[in-house]
Every structure is written in structure tokens, then in C-alpha cells.
Amino acid sequence: MITRYKDWKEFEFVHREMVDDMLIEFKRELDRDTAWNIPTYNQEMSLYILLEEYKDKLPVLDYYFHKAFRQVDVTDNGLIDSVIWQLLQGANIFWSVFGKFKVERDETFQILVREKSND
């Protein structure tokens, strides 16, 4: 089932919940016994720490997410935005988790969110 949100005010609470869920899942993946063997582990853990620190300011989890850190002041600190943008570059674990939470937009830029599955 897909829910359509017409504006940010309507979507904001859902977005905060999605960001929390995504960060929990990201941390769960980083805490797996074999995760530290991944070449990007330290990069991804640094990314997790920064995303957790600035989670209340993160942009919508859509196709614009990565680009936002280069085009607008997401964290109100250009240096932090730049660091997050760089860390996102090769963050394979993050992007695999992100894909589960990514939202879509329709032709009128309304936000479309798939209901969470229970699997």
C-alpha cells in the first residue's frame, strides 16, 4: 500500500520515524559480527555517528538525499555537510539500508511512502 503526502507538514512526523528506523537498521548492520571485515567499516561507522548526531535535520529519504549535502546547508555547517557527502560516496552498507527506506515522488512532487512490510 502506498500513502501520498501532499506537503511537508503532513509528512514530517512520518519522516522522523523513517529516519529513526533507518538509523536503527544501519546500526544493526554495522554491529553484525562480520561488519568490521568490510573495507568501508570505519567510514560507515563515522557516517552513522554524524547522521545520528544530525538526524533531526536530515533531508527527505529520496533521490535528492545525497545531493542535498552539496546543494543546501543541511546541518547549518558546510564543513559537516561536506564530510557527510564524502562519507556517503562509498558507503555500501548505508546505501543498501537506505534503499529499504527510500521514498518516491510523483509528477507533482508529492511524497509517496510504501507501508512497512513485516518481514
pLDDT score of 89 more than 80: yes
Which residue in this structure is represented by grid cell 542535498?
68
Domain count, the chain: 1
Predicted TM-score (pTM) of this structure? 0.81
Q: pLDDT band at 82, cuts 50/70/90?
A: very high
Answer whether residue 24 shows pLDDT above 90: yes
**83 lies in some domain:** yes
Task: State the pLDDT at residue 90.
Answer: 87
CA pair distance 60, 39, nearest whole angstrom = 28
- The pLDDT mean for the chain works out to 83
Look-up of cell digits 519522516:
15
Q: Following CA atoms 100, 101, 102, 104 in sequence, which dihedral angle do they give, to the nearest 10 degrees?
A: 110
Residue type, 53: E
Residue 34: domain span: 2-114
Residue 84 lies in a domain: yes
Question: Which 8-state DSSP code applies to residue 57?
Answer: G
